[in-house]
Amino acid sequence: MSAQLISMIKQAYYWIGPPVIVFLLVFAVWEISVRLSEIEDYLLPAPSAIITEVLTNISDYAFNTIVTIGEAIGGFVLGSIFAIIGASIMYQSRFLERGLLPVAILIKVTPIIAIAPLFVIWFGFGLLPKILIAAIITFFPVLVNCLSGMRATSSDITDLLKSLNASKSEIMIKASFPNSYPYLFASFKIAIPLAVIGAVVAEWFSGDRGLGSMIIRANNNLDMPQLFGAVFVLALMGVVLTSLVIYIEKRVLFWHDSQKVENEIW
């Protein structure tokens, strides 16, 4: 067995092994507890009943999962773009930062569940309100982290660029924005699960597609296996999307100290 293959197996175990073991233990205890206590399915279904439900209706779950993923990724991309643009504007002017940051905080502290019905009234029951809700919940963490990364640029680098008559925009493009990459990826790992949450909340109020709609229907029908199935699929979706961000981070920031230290584990 080649050293490269052994390294790949170790890396796979490093990321997949521990959580799989923990989840299997939790599900085993859950299954045994439900069977011994004879709890009814409409109160707490056993993991085996949930798995059977998902496999029996796999096409329905697959369709609704694709819908929710599309809404979440669309909102994540839209919110991240506006957040990066906003951070770039704030970086250029302290006055604009002091003026715009309170607005961003206001957006952050406004409960998503309170504005979702308003967006449905304004934009209808289609895809747009769901993407906008996901974008809003994504916006603040990306904005703050991007701005913090830009502000954390080494003064030695900025002084060197200033000595070469670089403008503030050139300093931002060549030094400050690249310096924010680790901060951005840290915010992406926070924002992508939040985008999923935003999409699900929007689905509660608009439309009949997506995992959020499945949860509402299952709750109304007291169909706990379906409700838990949709929740588990959502959790798996969040794990997969976050893992994808981590994978991209490792590829893009291979030069950063955090990635070098992690790679040295093996």
- The pLDDT score that the predictor gives to residue 264 is 46
- The pLDDT score that the predictor gives to residue 9 is 65
Residue 202 and residue 136: Cα distance in Å, rounded? 12
Residue 223 and residue 220: Cα distance in Å, rounded? 8
- The pLDDT score that the predictor gives to residue 23 is 80
Q: What is the pTM of this model?
A: 0.83
Residue 180 backbone dihedrals phi, psi, to 5 degrees: -85, -5
Position 192 pLDDT exceeds 90: yes
Average per-residue pLDDT in the chain?
Answer: 84
Q: What is the mean pLDDT of residues 115-141?
A: 88
* Cα 102–chain centre separation: 24
Give the tens place of pLDDT for each residue, 152-161. 877 777 877 7
Residue 175 and residue 178: Cα distance in Å, rounded? 6
Residue 131 and residue 28: Cα distance in Å, rounded? 37
CA-wise closest residue to 136 among 85, 186, 211, 199: 199
Place 266 in a pLDDT band, splitting at 50, 70 and 90: very low
Please answer whether residues 88 and 172 qualify as being in contact, where contact means their C-beta atoms are separated by less than 8 angstroms.
yes
Give the tens place of pLDDT for each residue, 42-88. 788 888 888 999 999 999 999 999 999 999 999 999 999 999 999 98
Residue 219 backbone dihedrals phi, psi, to 5 degrees: -65, -40
- The pLDDT score that the predictor gives to residue 243 is 87
Q: What is the mean pLDDT of residues 98-102?
A: 83
Three-state helix/strand/coil letters over the chain: CCHHHHHHHHHHHHHHHHHHHHHHHHHHHHHHHHHHHCCCCCCCCCHHHHHHHHHHCHHHHHHHHHHHHHHHHHHHHHHHHHHHHHHHHHHHCHHHHHHHHHHHHHHHHCCHHHHHHHHHHHHCCCCHHHHHHHHHHHHHHHHHHHHHHHHCCCHHHHHHHHHCCCCHHHHHHHHHHHHCHHHHHHHHHHHHHHHHHHHHHHHHHCCCCCHHHHHHHHHHCCCHHHHHHHHHHHHHHHHHHHHHHHHHHHHHCCCCHHHHHHHCCC
